[in-house]
Structure 1
């Protein structure tokens, strides 16, 4: 059974393992720990196993910004990213919600489009030759 909740520090190792599976290292351990400690990390569970997570903040022009959504590769295309986004929209401390993804990340663009986000601009020069697309949704 799928459940969503704010992550606890006891979840940290499992969250970092998912992140490491995607990026190949534990370089975001401190970032994930701080987000978890601050109540800015949401996890999706299925049968008591963490399947994915979402991290947000409110430092983007005083608006909510989803900075990271990660779902285990074996569990993708099963609605976990959508569930995480929907949960976050319901608890978002601001009416305006932003996020972003690289132009090369077609799957994430599909997730944003399917969840009612619209493109709100581009940022060049973050990843060479792969602009960042900014997405927006109002609560």
Structure 2
């Protein structure tokens, strides 16, 4: 599985301990992880997806969509939020495909790369 850096690794470790992480595996092979996603309520007490990671060799196969849809089913609130950098074109396309709409932004997290906030109304 892909390591994305110390901050992400720490977030992932905390999320696993708190049972906030969902793992995607190869069909029929639960021992072969291909991606994961995290869902928590750390965004002003709303459900939030801080992280979706798909291994490089597994991208463009619908795994990101499957992870995001599973996280949506776990959401117990009326809204689900997430964010990504403005430069992250693949994630922005995934969010649009899954019905998320841009809801605002935060400057100065990553210098010169605005953090875009997205929201989706859920059926909860």
Name the TM-score, length of structure 1 as normaliser: 0.80
Report the alpha carbon displacement of residue 27 of structure 1 after superposing the two structures with TM.
4.6
Question: Which residue of structure 1 aligns with residue 89 of structure 2?
Answer: 106
More strand by share: 2
- Say how many residue pairs are matched: 119
Q: What is the CA RMSD across the aligned residues, in angstroms?
A: 1.3
Question: Which residue of structure 2 aligns with residue 32 of structure 1?
Answer: 12
Distance 1:30 1:111, change over 3 A: same
Question: Which residue of structure 2 aligns with residue 126 of structure 1?
Answer: 109
Report the alpha carbon displacement of residue 31 of structure 1 after superposing the two structures with TM.
2.3
Query: Structure 1: which 5+ residue stretches go unaligned?
Result: 1-16
Task: Work out whether 1:84 is the aligned partner of 2:67.
Answer: yes
Question: Which residue of structure 2 aligns with residue 135 of structure 1?
Answer: 118
Report the alpha carbon displacement of residue 33 of structure 1 after superposing the two structures with TM.
1.8
* Correspondences of 1:65-76 after superposition (within 5 Å): 65-76=48-59
Report the alpha carbon displacement of residue 93 of structure 1 after superposing the two structures with TM.
2.5
Name the TM-score, length of structure 2 as normaliser: 0.90
Residue 22 of structure 2 is aligned with which of 30, 36, 42? Answer: 42
Distance 1:29 1:103, change over 3 A: closer
Question: Which residue of structure 2 aligns with residue 12 of structure 1?
Answer: none
Query: Structure 2: which 5+ residue stretches go unaligned?
Result: none
CA distance in 2, matches of 1:28, 1:134: 18
